[in-house]
Amino acid sequence: MSRIQLLRQHLPNLLTLCNLALGFLSVIMALENHLRFASWLILLAALLDFLDGFAAKLLEAISEFGKQLDSLADIISFGMAPAAIAYKLMEYALKNELPFTGLSGAGLAA
């Protein structure tokens, strides 16, 4: 198999792996409080998600492995990464109010 054929066969999976890496990096950046950068990484992952599907169809390189890898990348990039950003936003928003929330809840229970 020539290098060109190998590239054609594996290019969609390579794009999906880049998507997956951006998703993981977005989670790490979100947990390190770099929320804007994490958001941009998710947008870049969305572009790669489009491109990997487009490349797979164009190059006729659709495989079961590629489908499973794409599903994993989607879970990380569009499930876990936005959840990490939302978690940090809620943590920031409630940082000063959380102790009072607990006290008011205890007062309502009494």
The amino acid present at 81, given as its one-letter code, is: A
Average pLDDT, the chain: 89
Q: What is the mean pLDDT of residues 69-81?
A: 97
For the chain, what is the domain count?
A: 1
Least Cα distance to 12 among 50, 43, 45, 44 occurs for: 50
- Separation of alpha carbons 24 and 29, rounded Å: 9
Q: Over the stretch 7-31, which tens digit does the pLDDT of each residue have? A: 888 999 999 999 999 999 999 999 9
Q: pTM to 2 decimals? A: 0.82
For residue 79, give its domain range. Answer: 3-109
Q: Residue 76: which residues within 8 A CB-CB, separation 6 or more? A: 20, 23, 24, 27
Alpha-carbon span 11 to 8, nearest angstrom: 6
